[in-house]
Amino acid sequence: MSAVLTPAVRRPLLRRLRPLGNGPLFTVAVLVLGVLVLVAALAPLIAPYDPEALDLRSSLVGSSADHLLGTDQSGRDVLSRLLYGARTGLLGPLLVVGLSTAGGLLLGTVAGWRGGWADAVLSRLMDLVFSVPGLLVAIMFVAVAGPGLTAPVIAMAVAYTPYVGRLVHGLARQEKARPYLESYRVQGWSGWTICVRHLLPNIAPTVLAQSAINFGYALMDLAALSFLGFGVQPPAADWGAMINDGESALQQGATMPALAPSVCIVLAVVAFGIVGEGIADRLARRER
């Protein structure tokens, strides 16, 4: 008989995350995300110009002391737009991840805990949503509701829900069979109470890891939608929309207006991926 440690180890979240700092890549990724959040929060304080202020006389100025990253075709300061762009850049994915995590937790827990027909129905439903390309749904939503942040966010939240739901489904099934959770059932607790008070805290770290990865993908998808003109509309500062804008600048030989937001998107997506994988790795190692 070995002293079997149950996989979902339960220590306060922060203490659990601290040892992750071992990998330098992980540390850099966390720093990148920290800077991103700071920039989004402080954009109005640190942006040198109004991101939407047109100045057609200084269109496509190269980088200079006045405009560190130059200006775009309409003479707007690229750096200011980049800093403000971090706001929608983070807000959209935050909503998508928040909604899809909530939805996935609900569907996955009910399916995994209840089993039987509830499991069958919910699993089929998630398979169905899973099989429809999210971007396509988003474009349909935009066709109905009009462009902006709302329609793409709702569509992407729906599209991402099965990713979380399937993960939670498996975790819930696995945890339900563990004696420590079974003992709550023997004690007479309702399934609802057991799930909320004991199951969720125990699977939360694994779900969090998945959500961090999803955050990056959502950022990319929303940027793609803006780029295609279905998302946040110009003149609002949005990285995807900026790349779209920057296309014409490219033809005139100015790379910065398109390049800068592209770099930001790639950095953010990669950083979220590394952080998510880092957490997942750590949990997997602990399970062994």
Which residues bind to other proteins, rule: CB under 8 A?
A: 1, 3-6, 9-10, 178-190, 198, 201-202
Q: CB within 8 A of 71, min separation 6: which ones?
A: 55, 58, 59, 60, 61, 77, 78, 257
Closer residue to other proteins, CB minimum distance, 130 or 184: 184
Closer residue to other proteins, CB minimum distance, 5 or 121: 5
DSSP of 183-235: HHHHHT--HHHHIIIIIHHHHHHHHHHHHHHHHHHHHHHHHHHHHTTSSSPTT
Q: How far apart are CA 153 and CA 138, in angstroms?
A: 8
How near is the Cβ of 17 to other proteins at its closest, in Å? Answer: 16
How near is the Cβ of 185 to other proteins at its closest, in Å? Answer: 6
Q: Answer left, alpha or beta for residue 23, where phi above 0 means left and psi between -120 and 50 means alpha.
A: beta
Q: How far apart are CA 44 and CA 239, in angstroms?
A: 17
How near is the Cβ of 6 to other proteins at its closest, in Å? Answer: 6
Closer residue to other proteins, CB minimum distance, 6 or 64: 6
Closer residue to other proteins, CB minimum distance, 54 or 180: 180
In the DSSP assignment, the letter for residue 56 is G
Closer residue to other proteins, CB minimum distance, 10 or 124: 10
Q: How far apart are CA 215 and CA 14, in angstroms?
A: 20
